[in-house]
Amino acid sequence: MKFKQNYFRKAPKELLFELSQIKSDTVIVSTNLSVSTEDIADGKYKKWNINSINELADESVIDFIPSKNEGPTSKINSEGHVSKPLKDLPKVSKSWNITGPNWGDYSKGTHTTLNTRPVFQREYALPRETYLSVKRTDKGENPDEVQLKIWVPELLNRSDKSFPDDFLFNLNLLQESTGHSGVISSNQEENDKLIEEKQKDWEFLPVGTGNIRSKILQKVGDKKEIPESSQERIDYFTNPPFEIVGHINGINSFERYIGLELPNGVIILENFNYGNAIFVFKKDFESFSKMTRGELIKRRSSDTERIPHKKNWKINLETVLGFNHK
């Protein structure tokens, strides 16, 4: 997951939500991202110990310790940390030696004096020297890009008292180096299941499945009065005046959408909250369901029709669908 900031003062709510979805007691801070082969060739990722794309072959794992210049956490990771004076704790006696000249003249020799005085306590943290691991995950389908998994190879147990601090430390270590951060289960089977659930953005509901109207009203939200124009669209999508094979229910990032699929594979999509138009996609459900949010938002008129919610929107929609109105 990509974040704008380079450093977290506390774990982002998005990552805390991801953490809450994981059942395993142990988790790993990890992320996936894509980098260009050109940048690899230009040496941009030498700081990750990636000198050429060939080093990522055969499921090789590359380890690196982030440079201290990446951010405050990376510096602590490399150099350790000395806290500010802890003024809420009692002072302790500290002694140190000072060497000076005899009678103010080094030619006459030197002597050492022991000085002792009360000072505020400080907290010391040794360098963790935690490293990040990098592995290629794609099969080379795209010659211009490489998909990478980058993770902190440290199992974090949620029952440990140090978990909140260790979790935040590892998130920052990954974020400072990559601009991305995330969390996964230490159980690969659970990860696969979570990934599968995240990828389910659309649910196909064959004709006769469930109460479509109630699903639409859930998307509209808790509104005491539904505008007449919205009510008309709700009625239309609940019982369209033409044959359909099923409704399409948007979930996750598409949760505000409801759609219709026609026997010829055409998809009609509507947003009852913010939509000012209906969109007609000339794709079958299998192809449509694989589209990312970015692909869905940026469509070309060659494969998509936009029907504004004007006075004759129903007639205009049915004309696009090939139904004649005489």
Query: What digits encode the pLDDT tens for the residues 40-88?
Result: 999 999 999 998 888 888 778 899 999 999 999 999 988 887 788 888 8
Q: How far apart are CA 248 and CA 270, in angstroms?
A: 10
Q: Give 215-225 pLDDT, tens digit per residue.
A: 778 776 655 66
- Residue 114: HSE in the Cβ half-sphere, 13 Å Cα cutoff: 4
Q: Is the model's pLDDT at 300 over the cut of 70? A: no
- pLDDT, mean of residues 20-42: 90
Residue-wise pLDDT for 194-203, tens only, equals 555 555 567 7
Best CA proximity match to 247, nearest among 229, 261, 267, 268: 261
- Give the pLDDT band of residue 289 (cuts 50, 70, 90): low
- Annotate 144-192 with DSSP letters as a single string: TEEEEEEE----EETTSTTHHHHHHHHHHHHHHHHSB--EEES-HHHHH
Would the pLDDT of 163 be above 90?
Answer: yes
- pTM (2 decimals)? 0.56
Q: Is the pLDDT of residue 291 over 90?
A: no
Q: What is the mean pLDDT of the chain?
A: 82
Q: Which of 38-52, 226-240, 242-256 has the highest mean pLDDT?
A: 38-52
Would you state the pLDDT for residue 280?
A: 85
The average pLDDT across 156-162 equals: 90
How confident is the model at residue 278, as a pLDDT? 84
pLDDT at residue 199 in the model: 52
φ and ψ at 212, to 5 degrees? -65, -40
Please state whether beta strands 156-157 and 61-64 pair in parallel, antiparallel, or not at all (unpaired): unpaired
Residue 59's pLDDT is what?
A: 76
- For the chain, helix (H) and strand (E) counts, in that order, are 10, 16
Q: What is the dihedral of CA 14, 16, 22, 26, to 10 degrees?
A: 130
Q: Please, which pLDDT band fits residue 275 given cuts at 50, 70 and 90? A: low
pLDDT in tens, 104-141: 888 989 988 888 889 888 876 778 889 999 998 887 67
